[in-house]
Amino acid sequence: MSELFLAIGFGLVVASVLALSAVGLSLQFGITNYINFAFGDFMAIGAYTSWTLNTGPLHVNIWVAMLIGGLLVGVMAVLLNRFLLAPFARRFQKLFYILIVTFGLSLVLLNLVSSIWGDEVQRYNISNQAPQHIGPFLFTVDQLVVIGIAIVAMLAIHFMLTRTRIGKSMRAMSDNSTLAMTSGINTGFITTLTWFLSGLLAGIGGTVLGITQASITPGSGETFLFVIFAAVIVGGVGSIYGAMVGAVIVGLATEVAALFIDPSYKLDIAFAILILALLFRPSGLFSRPGKA
Amino acid sequence: MSPLVYYLFTLAFFVFAYCILGWGLNLQFGHGGILNFAYIGFVAIGAYVTGALSLGKPSGGQSYIFGFSLPFPVGLILGGLAACVFALLVSVLTFRRLRTDYLAMVLISLSLVLYDFINNFVPLFGGADGLTNVPEPFADALGLDTNTFVPFFAGVSLLVALLMWWVMSRITNSPFGRTLRASRDDDEATAALGKNVFKFRLISMLIGSFYAGVGGGLIVEFAGAFNTSAWLPGETFLIFAAVIVGGVGNNKGMILGALIVPVLFTQLPKFIPDIPGHPGLILNIAAMAIGVLLMLVLWFRPQGVIPEKKRLSKLPPLSERHRSTGAISAQLTTEETL
């Protein structure tokens, strides 16, 4: 029984990492209506930037480094959209052009990361902490902080989307961007802002992924991308709340399943969930009309 | 034989192999519009199955299934068919339900999972070590050594490639190919004309996967070994780049694409000595160059180096046949390109 609680506890940590990244991916998908296949590499760039800040001569505190890394990826995402993705999306009507461009971008960024930082496994400079009992669960302080960051971020996004003018504009654009434009919403600004938020969440997600997995490699973001896909598809592509729920389902399921099967097949569990979701509810739990 | 000639034959082999891989992906993506981001997975299945069927019983710490010591073309064909069967499974599960981008998401995930699974599950195909010492076809029967095997097998691959080119041009010029391209350009209009778009896409997926499997099988028989480092999911992009650079929906352009992308950008850089202190930097730069090249081609010449030809009807335009209904112009008999 105690093992089950341990697994659930770690599942919640994974779910937190997933929620941050899945919401980042979904926000951008809702506005631009195409999947960013380079999202995993955005995460890797965030993870390595904060690693350099954290372990380099500056010795920045890991959480501050995480935030700086996130902001940097946010700016990078805005620039990539402005000068690469947006022109392609405007020029070609067919969806697959832009998908191939993001796929190609992921190859470029992956190799950029490994030529700058090398292929060796890196770690953050964080002290080893004894796990603490919290009820039946066992968490390190860092894991609790990660869960806290995810909860705060999700609440912030919820309030932004429901209470602020910018958030409402985002929802309007994601429902019908032409109508939003004719209603006087500055769609260019909202798109830029969304890319920034998506990059910010990717950067933060990449760093917390590195913290919770206790390792960073150039490809870890790309491998994690498909766990994000599983969460996003289970929740319903483009739905922010769906991404949150999907993250919890996939995070818990993969960690609890690791009790019963060899943990090296954890990824396959996420894929099995993805397939089951496609078979029984292809539009996801929180599907929206027209998006499935 | 001088090392240069040996090396040129090796490059020639890769051109032929990548042509076959490219034609398969071109049928799926160029003609059918299916974004198969898992393509390299089908190549790997073909390679593993061909290798494991051609090898004898596992020995010396190796572990894999099969081990039937099958002779040359049999293992290769079965490898292609194995990729087909896998494609059937994947298509039936996903094609009906998903639009382009979701399908691409699922396929890229599939590619990663397949990679992870084969890497971890040692009894299947030797895990991360993969298959080694795959017998060189005909090497024993003809008494070939390492030096003579390379040009010989490059020749065999040329024959296989020519055969597969001929078959592929028959397929793409047939009514089947036309309907496939129509469904790529507008699937709803094609369905409205009574064509079963799902069936056409399924068949193109199966044939394309057979090509993937055969290409993979040739590679394993040429190299004698195959493991997970040979088919990282990013390799799919390489073949996509070859198809797009050569010309989407065009079989001849593929030959040029296979020359430019996989050979010039990945096989050649492997022979440039490493910059001291930066292992692998050259290959990283080459991979980035492919990504940039692809984006440049897409932006400046989206039709590729050799564009897909407008397939015009041999009949005189409708306007000349029925002067009274001249308004319906020859447009109806041309095919819209991308």
Write out pLDDT tens, residues B195-213.
Answer: 888 899 999 999 999 999 9
The two tokens of residue B328 are: 């319906």
The two tokens of residue A65 are: 């480094």
Q: What is the ipTM of this complex?
A: 0.85
d(CA A14, CA A250): 9
Q: What is the reported pLDDT for A26?
A: 92
Q: What is the reported pLDDT for B94?
A: 82
In the predicted structure, residue B137 carries a pLDDT above the cut 60 = yes
Task: Give B240-259 pLDDT, tens digit per residue.
Answer: 988 988 888 788 888 888 88
Cα B101 to chain centroid distance, Å, stands at: 20
pLDDT band at B328 (very low <50, low <70, confident <90, very high): very low
pLDDT band at B332 (very low <50, low <70, confident <90, very high): very low
pLDDT band at B308 (very low <50, low <70, confident <90, very high): confident
Task: Give A67-126 pLDDT, tens digit per residue.
Answer: 999 999 999 999 999 999 999 998 888 888 899 999 999 999 999 999 999 888 998 888
Q: A with B: how many residue pairs have Cβ under 8 Å apart?
A: 118
Which fold does the domain A2-127+151-280 belong to in CATH?
Answer: ABC transporter involved in vitamin B12 uptake, BtuC (1.10.3470)
* Residue A232: closest CA among A11, A36, A13: A36
| C-alpha distance from A226 to closest chain B C-alpha (Å) | 5
Interface test with B, best of A83, A103, A264 (most B CBs within 10 A): A103
Q: What is the reported pLDDT for B120?
A: 85
Interface test with A, best of B36, B101, B239, B266 (most A CBs within 10 A): B101
d(CA A200, CA A194): 10
In the predicted structure, residue B326 carries a pLDDT above the cut 50 = no
In the predicted structure, residue B170 carries a pLDDT above the cut 80 = yes
Instruction: Report the residue count for chain A.
Output: 292
A105 touches chain B (CB under 8 A): yes
User: Which residue(s) pair with A138 in the sheet?
Assistant: A133
A234 touches chain B (CB under 8 A): no
User: Residue with structure tokens 């790309």?
Assistant: A222
Contacts of residue A253, Cβ cutoff 8 Å, sequence gap at least 6: A11, A269, A270, A273
Q: Stretch B312-325: mean pLDDT, rounded?
A: 59
d(CA A281, CA A141): 37
What does DSSP assign to residue B324? G
In the predicted structure, residue A271 carries a pLDDT above the cut 90 = no
What does DSSP assign to residue A83? I
Mean pLDDT (chain A, rounded): 89
Task: Give A38-83 pLDDT, tens digit per residue.
Answer: 999 999 999 999 999 999 888 889 999 999 999 999 999 999 999 9
Contacts of residue B135, Cβ cutoff 8 Å, sequence gap at least 6: B54, B55, B69, B224
Contacts of residue A229, Cβ cutoff 8 Å, sequence gap at least 6: A274, B105, B106, B108, B109
A183 touches chain B (CB under 8 A): no
In the predicted structure, residue B178 carries a pLDDT above the cut 60 = yes
Domain extents for chain A?
2-127+151-280
Interchain pair A34, B101: CB under 8 A: yes
Interchain pair A233, B291: CB under 8 A: no
What residue ranges in A46-185 does DSSP mark as E strands? 132-134, 137-139
Q: How many CB atoms lie within 10 A of CB A135?
A: 8
The two tokens of residue A269 are: 């569990």
Interface test with B, best of A32, A35, A36, A108 (most B CBs within 10 A): A108
In the predicted structure, residue B325 carries a pLDDT above the cut 70 = no
In a 3-state reduction of DSSP, which class is residue B131?
Answer: strand
* Residue A244: closest CA among A153, A160, A129: A153
Q: Stretch B285-298: mean pLDDT, rounded?
A: 89
User: Which residue(s) pair with A139 in the sheet?
Assistant: A132
Q: What is the reported pLDDT for B138?
A: 77
